[in-house]
Amino acid sequence: MNKEPLFHISKRGAVPWYAAWAIRGCAVLLALIVCALITTLVTGENPISVYVTIFNGTFGSPRRMWVTFQNVAILLCISLAVTPAFRMRFWNIGGEGQTLIGCLASAACMILLRDALPGWAIICCMIVSSIVAGAIWGGIPAFFKARWGTNETLFTLMMNYIATQLVAFFCVVWESPKGSGQIGIINQKTELGWLPVIGGQRYLLNILVVAVLTVVMYIYLNYSKHGYEISVVGESERTARYVGIKVDRVIMRTMLLSGGICGIAGLLLVGSTDHTLTTTLAGGNGFTAVMVSWLAKFNPIWMILTSFLLAFLSKGAGEISKAFALNQSFSDILTGVILFFIIGSEFFINYRIHFRHGKKEG
Amino acid sequence: MKKLVSILMTIALIACLCTAAFAEAAPVKVGFIFLHDENSTYDLNFINAAKQACEEMGVEYVLITNIDEGQQCYDAAAELVEDEGCNIVFADSFGHESFMIQAAKDYPEVQFCHATGTQAHTVGLDNYHNAFASIYEGRFLAGVAAGMKLNEMIEAGQFSAEEAKIGYVGAYPYAEVKSGYTSFFLGARSICPTATMEVTFTNSWYDEALEKEGATRLINDGCKLISQHADSMGAPTACENAGVPDVSYNGSTIDACPNTFIVSSRIDWAPYMKHMIECVQTGAAIEADWTGTIETGSVVLTDVNEAVAAAGTVEKIEEVKAALLDGSVKVFDTAAFTVGGEALTSYLADVDDMGDFVGETEVIEDGAFQESKFRSAPYFDLDIDGITIIDK
């Protein structure tokens, strides 16, 4: 008779919501304890003061809160963008590139049209062109997927690199001074093409736009025919075909939407906050967005929480390196530990571990 | 809701006013913004100077590392002013400039000092300042050490005089870098007249892999000595692996490269940082544009690595340094170089940097290109004969 293995893993049935959140809560707690251990062992700093610092860095003053919410807004915007694609099991990891290309389109309008058009007209061009640019960047892999069944993960990933190189190229074309590879703030003196500042708060516009977008996306995914079609395609393409959904069309339409919203993120970055163009403008948010969306189970409302968590972690991480004069790598370690536990907790929510002595009847 | 917003805004405003009033009464506190962290030789040079200057002046300071050349820089500056109560903010990277200007507009009571920038003398803000040093003089002296080493290798029969080719890994093809490698080359050629140079650009300030690759490519191309103007350990490491002598920048790399490091020129930023702190302490105005020199202690060389450098290098450097100080040797002496086969008699440089890329200032005076005279940041952007750029 074969010896039974030490433990085996089985899929759980439906887990009541409070149990799921209890597991998640434990994971966060464990993560904090492990981080505290690492902090004390490696640096000799008091872990409590490190946590206080993280909290202060994020909420310490009204200004810090604005910056935090701005970071959340951009991350959430890109997460919202990739979500419809994820819901139909189309793994769009090209959010970074789609955002960058939106940035490029906005910056191009600000630079090329500044002598030709008044400010409001430039802004209109920026809105249209960045959405279209993002949509095209998302639409190309979708077209290939729908037509020839190419792998969308690799395709969207590679589109990121093309977008980065294109931006690098235009940074050299528009650089100032010559040879520096720097564009600097575009239209700093005239502020042409800068999106309006609402109520004296330079980040409020972004936050409002993304808030509206979140609600619209929630309704679109859950209460519209399109949203339903996306879910059906995600569950099973064959079923979708059987009930008469044109799968190719849904893929194309959803990816155009996905890319278009990334384009909006690009527009907000260039038009409203940064007013410049660099290859690092999207700042890895296109990839972090994948995690935000996935952790929230592709639910836009939950994504507010998860994007907040991730923005909070990275902001706090920067604060640690400043306050304790530690290298950025240390805060990356802490972020890594916390994410490891949070993602790991999903495993325990979905699966149960049975140890050998637990059940004899197998 | 409207009421809530207005209450919140009032509170924020009062908080701002309080911190502003508080900052004026408080002693000097300096906030520093760095592009990378201490792994970058460039930033390490600034970080060491910042600590030294603040500790010697007895003032508080805050360091923020890894700040991109984007809105992050503005946010960091705002953070330093509003939340840390700094009354001087210093940023170290060229690309930080426009965001520093933006912050300087928003916080007129705080002094913003920016290294390597070009716009302070034209932007018209009282609280925004640029600083640089006449590092081309340091580069020239480092070039002298390179020339000595080339001569030694030629005499030892390692290669012929015609093969004395230097390789140079540059960051971006603009004035700051061009001025640097040209002065280095002129220094080397003043000692080894047959020297030539090949330059490759990485188009990044910090890319260890690219810099290493660039240096390796130059070495394979027959370069006998390498120098660099990029901020990682990429080029020095490639030299150490290949056993090719290296003249470094920003600081000594002798620990990692004991068998190839000759000498390094660097800007010592401590004199300027002390100067700006002193100005704020005494209420004096900081110059819009400050140029450090050998005399101010801003342009320095590290110790020469006698194990690698040619015999007599230290003495020769001292001799040329004295000549630079008394004016008998000029780095960009128009008799020492040609452009397109001809000597330079007139050149209009884009000193005002208004974004027009049109030169407006005559910079050839007294038989030399007057670098760092009309503006602290370099504006020598000519391609002189003897230097080949192998990629644009």
Is A182 near chain B, with CB under 8 Å?
A: yes
| Whether B109 and B215 share a structural domain | no
Gap between the Cα atoms of A195 and A303, Å rounded: 26
Q: Which residue has the higher pLDDT, B9 or A17?
A: A17
Q: Are residues B204 and B304 in the same domain?
A: yes
Does B277 lie in the same domain as B236? Answer: no
- CA A131/CA B362 separation, integer angstroms: 47
Cβ atoms of A263 and A99 closer than 8 Å = yes
User: Is B309 in the same domain as B385?
Assistant: yes
The predicted-structure confidence for B289-340, as pLDDT tens digits, reads as follows 999 999 999 999 999 999 999 999 999 999 999 999 999 999 999 999 999 9
Give dist(CA A319, CA A326) in Å, integer: 10
How many folded domains does chain B comprise? 2
B368 part of a folded domain:
no
Facing residues of B247 across strands?
A: B227
Write out chain B residues lying below 8 Å of A273, CB-based: 71
Here the CATH number for the domain that contains residue B171 is 3.40.50.2300
A57/B339: higher pLDDT: B339
- Cα–Cα distance measured from residue B372 to residue B293, given in angstroms and rounded to the nearest whole number: 10
- Region of residue A179 (phi > 0: left; psi between -120 and 50: alpha; otherwise: beta): left
pLDDT confidence of residue B257:
93
In terms of domains, do B190 and B115 share one? no
Considering A23-32, A134-143, A197-206, B120-129, the range whose residues carry the highest mean pLDDT is A134-143
* Same domain membership, residue B141 and residue B80: no
Q: Evaluate if residue A48 carries a pLDDT over 90.
A: no
Task: Say how far apart CA A305 and CA A290 lie, in whole Å.
Answer: 14
Residue B16 covered by a domain: no
Same domain (yes/no): B214, B167? yes
Q: Are residues B207 and B281 in the same domain?
A: no
The more confident residue out of B353 and A158 is A158
Who has greater pLDDT, B5 or A293? A293
Do the chains contact at A179 and B174, CB–CB below 8 Å?
Answer: yes
Confidence of residue B22 (pLDDT cuts 50, 70, 90): very low
> Which residues in chain B (61-100) have CB-CB distances under 8 A to chain A?
62-66, 68-71, 75, 78-79, 82-83, 94-95, 97-99
**What residues does B131 pair with on adjacent strands?**
B115, B290
Does residue B139 carry a pLDDT above 90? Answer: yes
Chain B contact set for A180 (CB, 8 A) = 94-95, 172, 174
| Res. B251: pLDDT tops 90 | no
Q: How far apart are CA A103 and CA A73, in angstroms?
A: 16
Q: For the packed helices A300-323 and A204-223, what is the interaxial angle rounded to 10 degrees?
A: 150
Same domain for B308 and B200: yes
In 3D space, the residue among B107, B83, B42, B111 whose CA is nearest the CA of residue A319 turns out to be B83
Q: Is residue B370 part of a domain?
A: no
Q: What is the pLDDT of residue B20?
A: 47
Chain-chain contact of A184 with B172 (C-beta, under 8 angstroms): no
Asked if B254 and B210 sit in the same domain, the reply is yes
Which band of pLDDT confidence, cut at 50, 70 and 90, is reported for residue A213? very high
Q: Which of B32, B66, B71 to mutate to test the interface with A (most CBs of A within 10 A)?
A: B71
Residues B141 and B257 in one domain: yes
Average pLDDT, rounded, for chain A: 89
How far apart are alpha carbons B25 and B101 in whole angstroms?
Answer: 24
Tell me, rounded to whole angstroms, the distance of Cα B262 from its chain centroid.
19
- Is B358 a residue whose pLDDT tops 90? no
Question: Which range marks the domain in which residue B223 is found?
Answer: 135-266+299-328+378-389
Whether the predicted pLDDT of A313 surpasses 90: no
**Please, which residues bridge with residue B225 across strands?**
B166
* pLDDT above 60 (res B276): yes
Contact with chain B for residue A62, Cβ under 8 A: yes
**Best B60, B174, B353, B379 residue to mutate vs chain A (most A CBs within 10 Å):** B174
CA distances A90 to A74, A109, A258, A259, Å, are 22, 31, 11, 13
pLDDT at A84: 96
In this structure, the answer to whether residues B197 and B318 fall within a common structural domain is yes
Quick one: average pLDDT of B156-174?
A: 94
Query: Does B357 map to a domain?
Result: no
In the three-class reduction of DSSP (H, G, I as helix; E, B as strand; rest coil), residue A300 is classed as helix
Cβ distance A185 to B102 less than 8 Å, yes or no, reads yes
Confidence band, pLDDT 50/70/90 cuts, at residue A295: confident
Q: Is B304 domain-assigned?
A: yes
- CA–CA gap between residue B379 and residue B182 (Å, rounded): 12
Q: What does the pLDDT average to over B355-378?
A: 88
pLDDT higher than threshold 60 for residue B13: no
